[in-house]
Structure 1
Amino acid sequence: MGTASGPSGRLGVLLDQFDRAREMAQVRLAGLGDDEYLWEPVAGCWSVRRRGAAVTPRAFGAGAWVLDQGAADIPANEYEEVARQAADGMTVDKIAEDWSVSVERVRQVLAHSGPVQPDPVHVTTLAWRLGHLHFCFAGQWEWTFGERRTDPKDLVDFSPSAAVALERFWAVLDRWRTDVAALTDEQLDTVGLSQYPYGSDPDDPFVDVLWGTVLEFIHHMAEIGLLRDLWQARFTH
């Protein structure tokens, strides 16, 4: 994969996949207005809100608008991920730091056996999903290619304007892709090339980090596409 002048091999495959997903995302997000961007399809949604009006205890952002975030915990659908971290050699203390929970909570998860009861699902707005992706890509860039000084939660100036949010988001993606495309095979295999503080990036080869980042982009863009479909359906059904 890759072009004659662009990356090939593993990097080419992942960037080709990302590029195709981005093309589809730009088509899907064309014409996004503010009402749809901030639409709350059910009560209790997480969204982008004015500072002081957030409905969650750990909402964050660099400016006057913040992204809702709930209390720190390990959700039921991540129990297997915690088990994988432990199996890969992460200490209980490190896992607790990774998830921002107590050591006792990690031990409780690792000791769990049998079926896991699903957690209540927090429905999020299109603004939240786009803001979450913006936060992830901004943080990944800062802690891989940047100065690695600023907390990712202080990097993004969230906006209630769909046009402004999209302009800033595409710019962050462009910067991230440009620097990723210049990586060598040796850098792809470097453990800790990314020091992104939320997750296992410092303990993983960068090619694994990159794979997860592309997956996150595709995953949330699919959700955004469904929200656009539901927004349109509310007027036609």
Structure 2
Amino acid sequence: MNTPARLVPLLKQFDQARERLTDRLTGPFVDSGNGTEVAVPSLTDEEYRWEPVPDSWSVRLHSAGPGPGATLLTGAGDWGRDTAPFPHPSPPPFTTLAWRLSHLSELLALRADHTAGNHSLTRADHRVAGDAAGALADFEASAAAWRAALLGADDTALDTVGYSSYPYGSDPEDPFVDVVWWVNQELLHHGAEIALLRDLYRARGHGA
């Protein structure tokens, strides 16, 4: 199937954001934005779960229970991600790199399922990784699943309201092309947050 012309730039944006975030997390280099390679170390378990401020939301062992301000840990496996039912705390808690990367992987995997899969996965089904290597593998698998779902969309699908039945957003009320745009924005802004957290981790303890 030919890719619809209006999907092409959105796919390109997704691919570039995905590649840049992956490189930023795994190294050994990431493009600075102007073609210059900047050396970066691969993400470690310590950095993955680093809590730069008190009462951060993160990923934790289910056996340990949720962190401060959270009421439950969502996710399958031994680990879960801090969360609370609506209405969420205000102001929102600070979230760690682990929390943000897990959130990204979950939204990509679940949207892929609710677009081109069984339309059945929930947040409770999504495995949360407690280590950096597992989290990176989950992100790659989730991103690949979402991209494959996009390649199955034709022009009719892009205009179809509810083509994605993802239950944790406005997808059932939105044309699919709007969902594709929104997912790109999620990847871009959480990717930027993760990059900043890596910079802060590298510079920790060097302040006045």
Q: TM-score, normalised on structure 2?
A: 0.85
Q: 1:233 to 1:214 in 2, by over 3 A?
A: same
Which residue of structure 1 lines up, in the alignment, with residue 24 of structure 2? 28
Superposition map of 1:133-212 within 5 A: 133-151=104-122, 153-212=123-182
Q: Which among 29, 36, 53 is matched to residue 42 of structure 1?
A: 53
Greater C-alpha radius of gyration: 1
- Mapped to 2, the partners of 1:165 and 1:177 lie a distance apart of 18
Cα contact 1:138–1:155 (8 A) shared by 2: no
TM superposition shift of 1:39:
0.1
TM superposition shift of 1:71:
3.5
- Mapped to 1, the partners of 2:141 and 2:80 lie a distance apart of 20
| Matched residue SS, 1:66 | strand
TM superposition shift of 1:7:
3.1
Which residue of structure 1 lines up, in the alignment, with residue 94 of structure 2? 123
Q: Which among 219, 226, 230 is matched to residue 189 of structure 2?
A: 219
Identity %: 45
Between the two proteins, the alignment pairs up a number of residues equal to: 189
- Mapped to 1, the partners of 2:173 and 2:4 lie a distance apart of 25
| Matched residue SS, 1:67 | strand
Which residue of structure 2 lines up, in the alignment, with residue 54 of structure 1? 66
| Matched residue SS, 1:177 | helix
CA displacement, residues 35-90 of structure 1 (integer Å, 9 cap, x when unaligned):
00000001100000010421211321111100001241167xxxxxxxxxxxxxxx
Which stretch of structure 1 is more off in the superposition, 18-27 or 28-37? 18-27
What RMSD over aligned residues (CA atoms) do the two structures have, in Å? 1.7
Give structure 1 stretches of 5+ with no counterpart.
76-118
1:228 aligns with 2:202: no
Q: Which among 69, 77, 86 is matched to residue 72 of structure 1?
A: 86
| Matched residue SS, 1:228 | helix
Cα contact 1:37–1:127 (8 A) shared by 2: yes
- State the one-letter code of the partner of 1:227: L
- Mapped to 2, the partners of 1:206 and 1:146 lie a distance apart of 15
- State the one-letter code of the partner of 1:61: G
Which residue of structure 2 lines up, in the alignment, with residue 113 of structure 1? none
Structure 1 or 2: more strand by fraction: 2
- State the one-letter code of the partner of 1:179: A
- Mapped to 2, the partners of 1:74 and 1:54 lie a distance apart of 15
Structure 1 or 2: more helix by fraction: 1
Which residue of structure 2 lines up, in the alignment, with residue 83 of structure 1? none
Cα contact 2:4–2:154 (8 A) shared by 1: no
- Mapped to 1, the partners of 2:149 and 2:121 lie a distance apart of 19
- Mapped to 1, the partners of 2:159 and 2:72 lie a distance apart of 34
Give structure 2 stretches of 5+ with no counterpart.
27-41
